[in-house]
């Protein structure tokens, strides 16, 4: 025992020495078990025209410069072949010029290219991703050419288009994995004839189809490449957006030797046998991108989860296992039609996560930025959420057939994601599946799942029960001809476990198919909202007011300052006290405690300007005459927030300061409006020492000045 302790002490001492060499910040963050990502911000447009109301940069102006008005994807990889001239390549999918149809893919066949390629040396992504060039048609430097040829046979049985899915550079040769599309199916599904590797020996100018192919139905129809220790690792997914991710590797020098590929079988590598590949990430995974982050010493993967309608991220210390739960990076609620998120390979030595992302409606690509932080994403608490671990047609642990008739559909093409789903079918009674799930007390959760039903279903229920069997929350579903998402959000209360259930009251011969559950803890912490500058500010009448604003930061969503909504306004032309209220919500709907700022606009309630004394012929005078008619006029501005009735008075005083005469005009002046007043009187002509004053009063009977006083004397 003493010997073991001694050995432990030596090892510990060595570890401490190594740890001391790591900077404090990096040490604490790299020691984290996982990573989370803030919600991404749109940094710049990569392709297409600037949209109406859009203020982000658009450095490439691709419609004018390259005939690229609409395109998608933006498969991006480090394509450096000369260390002194770093570059990345970006391979785009179906591309259209001015003949684009105006929404999504599609347009004039004469301007349709199945793929195009851009080159960029831009290392500062903070203001956008600028192209150095695109591969263009010979003799036309302003028109990007199709680099991998396809016949564009739209019959549905031929060579429809060639879509890049991944790229990698080895030595001085560039490789693109592409899928040769046969036809496009329902949303998120498509069919291929095969996938293949094409390569270029001349810096992307020309591409050769290698003949190294994966057949229709392959687990590697779509790919994501990374290089590590002399190998090219290839993540793969089948065609579409509803399957698992698999992993293969091949020595760099054998990238075009199909027989040298090894497939991860869950514990080891199996050579030249794709069927041995097992899922390393569960469905649904689509349009996958993987990069290594040196700052956190983690692998990062980014992909679209169609079930969550979100771009999600996972992290791991290993390519083959240990991938964390998902953290949402961008949602379809904020970026409708999002897909195709591909990580920029040069942004992975710190906290920043830059990636390009496609948007279906504009059918173009934008540059996005998120921030990585240590943390643990909320895991899916449902075990076997897509029934992929069920080994027979009978429902088994962790699921229970609570009542009625039900079972597992295995590999018959009825699932939403993966290859299996559960079913309920009966002509009468309650039929349901359940799973008991541990939860934390008094915590917010969201449960989602997908159901598809027979046409006569009219009494389906999806929800959760508490420990006492009572329903905490449920939603009713009726006829669903396609898999339709069901959602309930609930608080666990005093429960330490809940029962998830999905069922239906049969209405004659009735059936339900169920797939893809998710139960996750919902963020219930609001953002922190703080004022910039002083809580109370003063501004002189007519001065300039610049709102210092506020700052909002959320522990999951990052900086939300641009999401702050301000109510109230400050009018520096009107004296008074103004209140500005700042509100913000995070992406989960949690609202921060509002903060307010008081702004006081100070100054006279009424302003006299353009004061003028004249004689009877309207000639300006600077002294009172002994006799004759005298007029006084001025423009009066109401600087208050209310309409006011006031009087402009011209008062004549003798040398004893006694009032001799009063002339005046009473008018109603709206808030912020200027009115010109004129009043006059005749001089007595019998003495000297008179003087007159012009000012604003509340009325002709109350001559207390409520404005500045202008004076003229004899």
Decide if pLDDT at 27 tops 80: no
pLDDT of residue 686: 81
Instruction: In whole angstroms, give the CA distance from residue 77 to residue 61.
Output: 22
Please name the CATH architecture into which domain 528-602 falls.
Sandwich (2.60)
Contact 299, 315 (CB under 8 A): yes
pLDDT of residue 587: 83
Decide if pLDDT at 30 tops 60: no
Sheet containing 430-438, strands listed edge to edge, beginning at the edge strand earlier in sequence: 400-403, 430-438, 497-505, 460-465, 471-477
Q: Which residue has the higher pLDDT, 668 or 315?
A: 315
pLDDT of residue 555: 81
Q: What is the CATH number of domain 34-374?
A: 2.115.10.20
Choose among 341, 280, 267, 275: nearest CA to 308: 341
The H or E element containing residue 491 is strand 484-491
pLDDT of residue 28: 37
Q: How confident is the model at residue 33 (pLDDT cuts 50, 70, 90)?
A: low
Contact 692, 651 (CB under 8 A): yes
Decide if pLDDT at 524 tops 80: yes
334 exposure class (CB count in 10 Å sphere: 0-12, 13-18, 19+): middle
Long-range contacts of 203-207 (CB under 8 A, 24+ apart): 203/81, 203/174, 204/79, 204/89, 204/117, 204/119, 204/135, 204/147, 204/174, 205/135, 206/147, 207/147, 207/148, 207/176
Strands 338-343 and 327-331: unpaired
pLDDT of residue 596: 97
Q: Which two tokens stand for residue 163?
A: 């879509």
Decide if pLDDT at 63 tops 60: yes
Q: How confident is the model at residue 186 (pLDDT cuts 50, 70, 90)?
A: confident
Three-state secondary structure along 280-347? Answer: CEEEEEEEEEEEEECCCCEEEEEEEECCCCEEEEEEECCCCCCCCCCEEEEECCCCCCEEEEEECCCC
Listed by start position, the domains of the chain span 34-374, 400-521, 528-602, 606-713
Strands 243-251 and 231-237: antiparallel
Helix, strand, or coil here: 542?
Answer: coil
- Tell me the residue ranges of DSSP E strands in 604-673: 606-614, 627-638, 644-653, 659-669
Mean per-residue pLDDT, 362-370: 97
What CA dihedral angle connects 280, 281, 282 and 285, to 10 degrees?
-130
Measure CA 648 to chain center.
59
Mean per-residue pLDDT, 629-644: 92
End-to-end CA distance of the chain: 116
pLDDT of residue 20: 33
Contact 34, 374 (CB under 8 A): yes
Decide if pLDDT at 3 tops 80: no
pLDDT digits (tens, 9 = 90+) for 161-178: 999 999 999 999 999 999
pLDDT of residue 76: 98
pLDDT of residue 400: 98
Instruction: In whole angstroms, give the CA distance from residue 495 to residue 399.
Output: 20
Measure CA 151 to chain center.
37
Contact 150, 160 (CB under 8 A): yes
pLDDT of residue 13: 34
> Among 7-21, 44-58, 95-109, 561-575, which stretch is predicted with the lowest mean pLDDT?
7-21
Instruction: In whole angstroms, give the CA distance from residue 617 to residue 613.
Output: 11
Decide if pLDDT at 534 tops 90: yes
Instruction: In whole angstroms, give the CA distance from residue 317 to residue 279.
Output: 17
pLDDT digits (tens, 9 = 90+) for 7-21: 333 333 333 333 333
pLDDT digits (tens, 9 = 90+) for 226-255: 999 999 999 999 999 999 999 999 999 999
Q: What is the mean pLDDT of the chain?
A: 93
Instruction: In whole angstroms, give the CA distance from residue 711 to residue 229.
Output: 93
> Among 203-217, 496-510, 698-712, which stretch is predicted with the lowest mean pLDDT?
698-712
Counting residues of the chain whose pLDDT is more than 70, the rounded percentage is 95
Instruction: In whole angstroms, give the CA distance from residue 523 to residue 526.
Output: 8
pLDDT digits (tens, 9 = 90+) for 272-296: 999 999 999 999 999 999 999 999 9
Residues ≥6 apart with Cβ < 8 Å to 71: 47, 48, 62, 92, 93, 94, 95, 96, 116, 363, 364, 365
pLDDT of residue 150: 95
Choose among 148, 119, 145: nearest CA to 131: 119
Q: How distant, in Å, are the alpha carbons of 276, 463, 467, 500 from that of 470?
A: 45, 11, 7, 12
Q: Yes or no: is domain 400-521 CATH 2.60.40.1180?
A: no
pLDDT digits (tens, 9 = 90+) for 422-446: 999 999 999 999 999 999 999 999 9
> Any idea which fold 606-713 has?
Immunoglobulin-like (2.60.40)
Instruction: In whole angstroms, give the CA distance from residue 704 to residue 695.
Output: 9
pLDDT of residue 659: 92
Q: 528-602 with 606-713: one CATH topology? A: yes
pLDDT digits (tens, 9 = 90+) for 399-427: 999 999 999 999 999 999 999 999 999 99
Counting residues of the chain whose pLDDT is more than 90, the rounded percentage is 87
Residues ≥6 apart with Cβ < 8 Å to 465: 471, 472, 498, 499, 501
Phi/psi-derived region of residue 684, left when phi > 0, alpha when psi is between -120 and 50, beta in every other case: alpha
Instruction: In whole angstroms, give the CA distance from residue 309 to residue 274.
Output: 30
């Amino acid at each position: 025992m003493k010997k073991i302790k001694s050995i432990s002490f030596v090892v510990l001492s060595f570890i401490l020495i190594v740890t001391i060499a790591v900077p404090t910040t990096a040490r604490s963050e790299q020691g984290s078990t996982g990573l989370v990502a803030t919600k991404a911000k749109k940094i710049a447009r990569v392709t297409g025209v600037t949209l109406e109301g859009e203020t982000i940069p658009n450095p490439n102006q691709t419609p004018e410069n390259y005939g690229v008005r609409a395109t998608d994807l933006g498969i991006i990889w480090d394509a450096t072949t000369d260390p002194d001239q770093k570059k990345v390549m970006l391979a785009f999918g179906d591309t259209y010029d001015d003949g684009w149809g105006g929404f999504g893919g599609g347009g004039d066949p004469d301007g349709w290219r199945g793929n195009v390629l851009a080159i960029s040396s831009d290392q500062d992504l903070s203001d956008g991703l600028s192209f150095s060039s695109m591969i263009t048609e010979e003799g036309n430097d302003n028109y990007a050419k199709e680099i991998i040829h396809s016949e564009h046979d739209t019959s549905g049985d031929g060579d429809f288009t060639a879509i890049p899915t991944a790229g990698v550079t080895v030595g001085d040769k560039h490789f693109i994995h592409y899928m040769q599309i046969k036809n496009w199916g329902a949303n998120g599904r498509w069919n291929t004839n095969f996938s293949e590797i094409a390569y270029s020996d001349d810096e992307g100018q020309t591409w050769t189809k290698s003949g190294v192919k994966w057949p229709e139905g392959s687990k590697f129809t779509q790919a994501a490449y990374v290089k590590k220790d002399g190998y090219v690792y290839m993540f793969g997914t089948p065609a579409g957006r509803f399957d698992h991710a698999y992993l293969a590797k091949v020595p760099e020098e054998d990238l075009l030797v199909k027989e040298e590929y090894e497939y991860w079988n869950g514990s080891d590598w199996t050579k030249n046998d794709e069927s041995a590949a097992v899922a390393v990430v569960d469905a649904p995974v689509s349009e996958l991108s993987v990069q290594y982050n040196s700052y956190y010493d983690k692998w990062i993967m980014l992909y679209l989860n169609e079930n969550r309608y979100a771009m999600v991220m996972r992290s791991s210390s290993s390519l083959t296992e240990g991938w964390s739960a998902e953290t949402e990076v961008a949602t379809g609620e904020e970026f409708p039609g999002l897909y195709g998120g591909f990580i920029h390979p040069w942004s992975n030595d710190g906290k920043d996560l830059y990636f390009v992302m496609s948007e279906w409606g504009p059918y173009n690509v934008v540059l996005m930025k998120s921030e990585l932080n240590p943390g643990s994403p909320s895991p899916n608490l449902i075990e076997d959420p897509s029934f992929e671990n069920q080994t027979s047609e009978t429902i088994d642990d962790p699921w229970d057939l609570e009542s009625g008739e039900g079972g597992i559909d295995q590999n018959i093409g009825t699932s939403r994601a993966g290859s299996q789903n559960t079913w309920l079918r009966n002509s009468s009674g309650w039929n349901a599946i359940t799973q008991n799930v541990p939860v934390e007390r008094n915590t917010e959760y969201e449960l989602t799942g997908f159901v598809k039903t027979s046409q006569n279903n009219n009494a389906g229920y999806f929800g959760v029960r508490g420990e006492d069997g009572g329903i905490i929350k449920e939603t009713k579903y009726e006829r669903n001809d396609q898999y339709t998402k069901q959602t309930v959000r609930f608080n666990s209360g005093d429960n330490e476990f809940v029962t998830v259930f999905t069922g239906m009251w049969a209405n004659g011969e009735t059936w339900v198919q169920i797939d893809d559950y998710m139960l996750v803890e919902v963020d219930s912490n609001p953002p922190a909202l703080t004022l910039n500058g002083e809580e109370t500010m003063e501004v002189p009448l007519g001065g300039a007011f610049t709102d210092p604003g506020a700052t909002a930061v959320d522990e999951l969503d990052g900086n939300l300052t641009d999401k702050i909504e301000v109510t109230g306004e400050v009018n520096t032309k009107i004296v008074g006290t103004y209140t500005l209220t700042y509100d913000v919500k995070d992406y989960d709907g949690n609202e921060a405690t509002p903060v307010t700022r008081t702004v006081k606009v100070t100054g006279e309630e009424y302003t006299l300007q353009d004061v003028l004394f004249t004689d009877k012929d309207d000639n300006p005078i600077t002294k009172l005459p002994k006799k004759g008619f005298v007029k006084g006029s001025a423009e009066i501005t109401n600087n208050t927030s209310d309409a006011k009735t006031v009087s402009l008075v011209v008062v004549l005083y003798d040398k004893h300061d006694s009032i001799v005469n009063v002339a005046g005009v009473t008018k109603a002046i709206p808030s912020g409006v200027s009115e010109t007043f004129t009043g006059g009187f005749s001089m007595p002509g019998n003495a000297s020492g008179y003087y007159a004053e012009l000012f604003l009063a509340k009325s002709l009977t109350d001559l207390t000045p409520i404005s500045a006083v202008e004076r003229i004397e004899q």
